[in-house]
Amino acid sequence: MSKIIERFIRYAKIDTQADETSDSSPSTAKQLELSRLLTQECEELGLQDVSLSEHGVVMATLPATVSHEAPTIAWLAHVDTSPEYSSEQVNPILHENYAGGDIVLPGDFTKVISVALNPALADLIGETIITTDGTTLLGADDKSGITAMMTAVEHLLIHPEIEHGPIRICFTVDEEIGRGIENLDLNALNACCGYTLDSEGWGRIDSETFSADLAIITVRGVNTHPSEAKGKMVNAIRVLASFIDRLPKGNLSPETTSGREGFMHPYHIEGGVSEATARIILRDFETELLFAQADLLNLHAGTLRVEYPEVEIQVTIKKQYRNMRDGMEKEPRALSKAIEATDAAGMTPTLDIIRGGTDGSLLTEAGLPTPNLSSGQHNPHSPLEWTSEKEMQAASNVLVELAKLWGQETA
């Protein structure tokens, strides 16, 4: 087993699932297990200024090897995995010398990674593919990014003849629930720009993301015993179901949109007769269209309040993140050097938009321009998740080239 695969599997087997209903930071204590391991590994590698905050944020410094004062850049990845599917007892499966064709997952034969829906597999014949067994997430989002970062760090330490400036290493928590920089001290990070390793495949550079909000719809009905409910009961479940049914069906949903089209996605519902809630994520590349989605939700709520005057309907909108595009001009070299580094690493740079968000969205909005780079992950938030040794190594190679390029600059 190669070192990069061994490193990825070590990280993937640690359950780091985030919990959006938790108010603690990190939202789950189990994320700290990986944060502690990464802290230990940074110390063992000989990085400087290694720290682990009480909230699970890991920081360290890879010292410069150039004699002049070069700009400090930051590399970032997140330790948590999505709350949308189980991360318990992850069993990574190695498909060595991949021969092509669909991949049937051994833990659940109904789970198949098809070539038709995963065309990137065609470029990986003969390589090692890593999948789940079909019963959990793999955690390649974002443990492939962590693996690429640590591999690049180790390579630069083994080869001090490679000239580069100071690099800040940072691992965050709770990215998957939109709280990735909640307790990240940007002054302590102290970089001119950052790079998150949290995009698909290889050679991809994301300079735009969705803008995003979360809508929480709460319906409070009137409950009584069903034997005497006539004229008295107002079932919150039925009212909430009516609310969901009024959302657009032919557009504004993940299953009907692509490219720059936004959507409204109800993804979680719970409750009973007296109270029921739904969580709906709102997404669009243009923030004003995001606000229009919230207006539509409030319009539906108002209509239902007229139809069911005994019911209380509450619409709560929580800001999550904004399109990173608007903050990139603060440090234009961040994007241009990502393009140059990808080319230098032997790949064709592909500028893309991401129909989601990363810590880079929040970091850019907070004043640290942070493009998002490929890390080798595919099918995130799904038991069909997979990565490959070749793509993680490619991501690591891009970071090494970035280090060289920024080392040629003067602060």
Q: Which residues are catalytic?
A: 80, 175
Contact present, 126 and 61 (Cβ < 8 Å): no
- Structure tokens belonging to residue 14: 């640690």
Task: Please give the angle made by the CA atoms of 117, 118 and 124, to the nearest 5 degrees.
Answer: 155
- Structure tokens belonging to residue 18: 């985030």
Which letter does DSSP use for residue 83 in this model?
T
Nearest to 125 by CA among 115, 117, 116, 135: 115
Would strands 275-284 and 263-271 be described as parallel, antiparallel, or unpaired?
antiparallel
Instruction: For residue 146, give every residue at least 6 positions away whose Cβ sits within 8 Å of its Cβ, in sequence order, or none.
Output: 11, 38, 77, 79, 171, 197
Nearest to 194 by CA among 46, 362, 351, 357: 362
Nearest to 103 by CA among 334, 331, 388: 388
Task: Please give the angle made by the CA atoms of 257, 280 and 87, to the nearest 5 degrees.
Answer: 90
Specify which residues 222 forms β-bridges with: 234
Q: What CA–CA distance (Å, rounded) separates 190 from 192?
A: 7
Q: What CA–CA distance (Å, rounded) separates 299 from 238?
A: 18
Name the maximum alpha-carbon separation found in the chain: 83
Q: What CA–CA distance (Å, rounded) separates 147 from 141?
A: 11
Q: What CA–CA distance (Å, rounded) separates 155 from 276?
A: 53
